[in-house]
Copies of this chain bind each other. A is one copy, B any other.
């Protein structure tokens, strides 16, 4: 059985060669202490932790699952100890500011670390999933005393936070939620209601759990404008148990070792976080990083899938190939990765995994720039680009995580369907990420409607200008001039169709919603085209080094076999504008 190896070389390539992040950090006052050596040390340590501590718990955790009895959740054997090691390693504090007891490292490094955690054990990493988002949320919205009370515990990892949002009748539509918050005289509130799908809503990794709960104040307006955010600890300051009860855990297709809880708030003590009725705004503070992290789950799964499929394909021999690598000995049967169908699958796995790494890390780097860049204009532009690309990363990466896991499973043949190999678990685990943290359909609407059509700033033109700039550099190189031409053509067509969407929308308000899914895919395929064209340039003339040679190969594969999908999505975007969809009878 193949063991996951953190792709440290490729991570270094993206961070140093492709993003040139260390040079950027050197210009940012709060990140000046980070250099290549420190980055590499952090990633190496994280790789050791991920491969050594949590990877061995992945399959076991899936088989054992979480156990629920009498309101308590027991995580799989080894999970609490691994979390203790995570805390002792200082990992929860990685991206928190030094003033809060954190290490003040870039989001970019945190993102790379998360990729490894998710690749090794998605279910385990779920417990720490919203810690950074909760940190940001408290930091920006909590009153001073609440920050002082809970921020250090979250940064140290002593307290794990949860996000309590969904209710049985309110999933994608949070406006429908019914959990109530009644004010007490002392400024606290009594929270009552039922929440579902609360990841890590109850567990045995930490003593205390801090629930971030969306609820309605008395007389709050209906819908999403009447929602407030509360902090509800599992344990109160006197050590007594707050009135939050776990009524059960979900039995799920995957991430079975992650406790997905039904929570009952029965007049639990809670404190308002941010302003009354502005809970969604407070929660959105964590959205960009949270959705990027979910995208990293997709990347982690795709990377794990690529590694395991390649490992198996190199060992498994079936049939003679029509063509063999020069010099390979004749055998009764060839390694299956000699066969063209398998080469397609493997090259696509590599091009997508590595391509998503470039794109995803770029978004993380944009988040760092949006916070730390010295130039306010650069901060603003970085914020705009990150906000634009985030729903794309969330939706496209998670879909690829699932689809590439399925492609990799196919490489294993019948063995892939057996639990003897971990690829079937990768497939099961990966599927959830297309749903939670805003379904991929909601991401598509967010991208086209909110981030493009209703966005008064010029984020999309800025993005396309970057793509065109890269393409114009590439067009000077005869090897890449055709690819550059395709990329520019796609940019032009995408820009043009935005105008058509606006025009159509005036008469037919539903039109953009019919085209949103394909618009997201179109821009995603195009964006990976950009990252591969840039990679081809970065690696140009350095083909003696295998990593740079492989970048040239992957870029070629991407432009021949993957970029053409952009045209297909463009066709469907146009079809959505002109063709109405009938309603189906109930």
A346 at the interface (CB under 8 A from B): yes
Which residues of B sit under 8 angstroms from A323, Cβ to Cβ? 509-510
Q: List A residues 544-565 near B (Cβ within 8 Å).
A: 546, 553, 556-557, 560-561, 564-565
Which of A228-236, A337-345, A356-364, A385-393 lines the interface with chain B? A337-345
Closest to A413 in B: B171
Closest to A415 in B: B171
A404 to chain B, nearest CB (A): 13
Which of A119-127, A146-154, A250-258, A528-536 lines the interface with chain B? A250-258
Partner of A417, one of B196, B254, B310, B444: B254
Which residues of B sit under 8 angstroms from A585, Cβ to Cβ? 546
A28 to chain B, nearest CB (A): 38
Closest to A328 in B: B583
A496 to chain B, nearest CB (A): 19
Closest to A318 in B: B173
In the complex, the answer to whether A337 meets B583 with C-beta atoms within 8 Å is yes
A80 to chain B, nearest CB (A): 25
Q: Known interface pairs A251-B419, A428-B253, A553-B582. Does A339 touch B402 (Cβ–Cβ under 8 Å)?
A: no
In the complex, the answer to whether B418 meets A435 with C-beta atoms within 8 Å is no
A30-72: CB near B (< 8 Å → 1, else 0) gives 0000000000000000000000000000000000000000000
Complex CA gap A513/B575 in Å reads 32
In the complex, the answer to whether B414 meets A322 with C-beta atoms within 8 Å is no
In the complex, the answer to whether B583 meets A338 with C-beta atoms within 8 Å is yes
A62 to chain B, nearest CB (A): 11
A514 at the interface (CB under 8 A from B): yes
A81 to chain B, nearest CB (A): 27
Which residues of B sit under 8 angstroms from A324, Cβ to Cβ? 583
Closest to A434 in B: B410
In the complex, the answer to whether A406 meets B431 with C-beta atoms within 8 Å is yes
Which residues of B sit under 8 angstroms from A568, Cβ to Cβ? 564-565, 567-568
In the complex, the answer to whether B513 meets A581 with C-beta atoms within 8 Å is no
Complex CA gap A22/B276 in Å reads 70
Closest to A569 in B: B568
What total of chain A residues lie within 8 Å of the partner, measured CB to CB?
92
Q: Known interface pairs A406-B402, A579-B561, A583-B325. Does A172 touch B571 (Cβ–Cβ under 8 Å)?
A: no
Closest to A325 in B: B583
Identical chains in the assembly: 2
Q: List A residues 465-521 near B (Cβ within 8 Å).
A: 509-510, 513-514, 516-517
Complex CA gap A346/B441 in Å reads 14
A87 at the interface (CB under 8 A from B): no
A586 at the interface (CB under 8 A from B): yes
In the complex, the answer to whether B417 meets A176 with C-beta atoms within 8 Å is no
Q: Known interface pairs A251-B418, A418-B251, A579-B561. Does A173 touch B333 (Cβ–Cβ under 8 Å)?
A: yes
Q: List A residues 379-421 near B (Cβ within 8 Å).
A: 402, 406, 409-410, 413-414, 416-420
Which residues of B sit under 8 angstroms from A196, Cβ to Cβ? 414
A88 to chain B, nearest CB (A): 33
In the complex, the answer to whether B414 meets A166 with C-beta atoms within 8 Å is yes
A284 at the interface (CB under 8 A from B): no
In the complex, the answer to whether A417 meets B253 with C-beta atoms within 8 Å is yes
A240-272: CB near B (< 8 Å → 1, else 0) gives 000000000011111000001000000000000
A7 at the interface (CB under 8 A from B): no
In the complex, the answer to whether B427 meets A253 with C-beta atoms within 8 Å is yes
Closest to A513 in B: B340
Which residues of B sit under 8 angstroms from A173, Cβ to Cβ? 318-319, 333
In the complex, the answer to whether A318 meets B172 with C-beta atoms within 8 Å is yes
Partner of A171, one of B166, B172, B402, B414: B414
Closest to A316 in B: B171
A332 at the interface (CB under 8 A from B): yes
Partner of A424, one of B253, B318, B441, B567: B253
A192 to chain B, nearest CB (A): 21
In the complex, the answer to whether B583 meets A343 with C-beta atoms within 8 Å is yes
In the complex, the answer to whether B410 meets A344 with C-beta atoms within 8 Å is no
In the A-B complex, the 3 residue pairs with the closest CB atoms: A173-B318, A253-B424, A341-B441
